[in-house]
Amino acid sequence: MKPLITLILFVTLAVGFFCSWNIGSHDAANSMGISVGSRILTVRRAVFLLALFVVLGAVLEGHCVMGTISKGIVHFENENAAVVLAENMNIPPSVTPTPFTIVPIAAIAAILSASIWILACTYLGMPASTGHSLVGAITGAGLAIGIFSSAAIATAGVSVNVSTFLQILVSWVMTPLGAIGFAFLFYHIASRTLNRVKNISTLNRIYSIITIATACYMAYTFGANDVSHGVGLVLAANPALDIPLLALFGAVAMICGAVMYSSRMIETIGKKITVLAPVTAFSAQLAAAMTVHVFVWLSMPVSTSHAVVGGVVGAGLVKGSLVGSRQLGRIPLIWVLTPFMTIAISFVLTTIFMGL
Look at the pTM and tell me if it is higher than 0.85.
yes
What's the mean per-residue pLDDT of the chain? Answer: 86
Which pLDDT does position 324 carry in this prediction?
Answer: 53
Which pLDDT does position 10 carry in this prediction?
Answer: 93
Which pLDDT does position 44 carry in this prediction?
Answer: 80
The mean pLDDT value for 155-177 works out to: 92
Phi, psi of 96 (to 5 degrees): -85, 115
What pLDDT band is residue 263 in, cutting at 50, 70 and 90?
low
The answer to whether 25 touches 120, Cβ cutoff 8 Å, is: no
Which pLDDT does position 203 carry in this prediction?
Answer: 85
- Residues in Cβ contact with 301 at an 8 Å cutoff, skipping those fewer than 6 apart: 65, 68, 69, 131, 134, 135, 168, 225, 228, 229, 232
Would you say residue 34 has pLDDT above 80? no
Tens of pLDDT, residues 241-258: 999 999 999 999 999 988
Which pLDDT does position 109 carry in this prediction?
Answer: 96
Which pLDDT does position 246 carry in this prediction?
Answer: 96
Highest mean pLDDT of the ranges 4-8, 80-84, 296-300: 296-300
The mean pLDDT value for 345-356 works out to: 92
Which pLDDT does position 320 carry in this prediction?
Answer: 60
The answer to whether 144 touches 113, Cβ cutoff 8 Å, is: no
Of residues 152 and 138, more confidently modeled: 138
Of residues 46 and 237, more confidently modeled: 237
Q: Residue 35 is which amino acid? A: S
Least confident range of 24-33, 271-280, 330-339: 271-280
Q: Where are the alpha helices (DSSP H) in the chain?
A: 2-37, 43-61, 63-67, 79-88, 99-102, 104-124, 130-148, 151-156, 162-194, 200-237, 243-261, 263-267, 278-297, 304-319, 325-355
Of residues 22 and 33, more confidently modeled: 22
CB under 8 A, 24+ apart: contacts of 92-98: 92/240, 94/240, 95/239, 95/240, 96/71, 96/239, 97/239, 98/70, 98/71, 98/74, 98/236, 98/239
What pLDDT band is residue 226 in, cutting at 50, 70 and 90?
very high
Of residues 15 and 36, more confidently modeled: 15
The mean pLDDT value for 147-166 works out to: 88
Of residues 83 and 180, more confidently modeled: 180
Of residues 26 and 70, more confidently modeled: 70
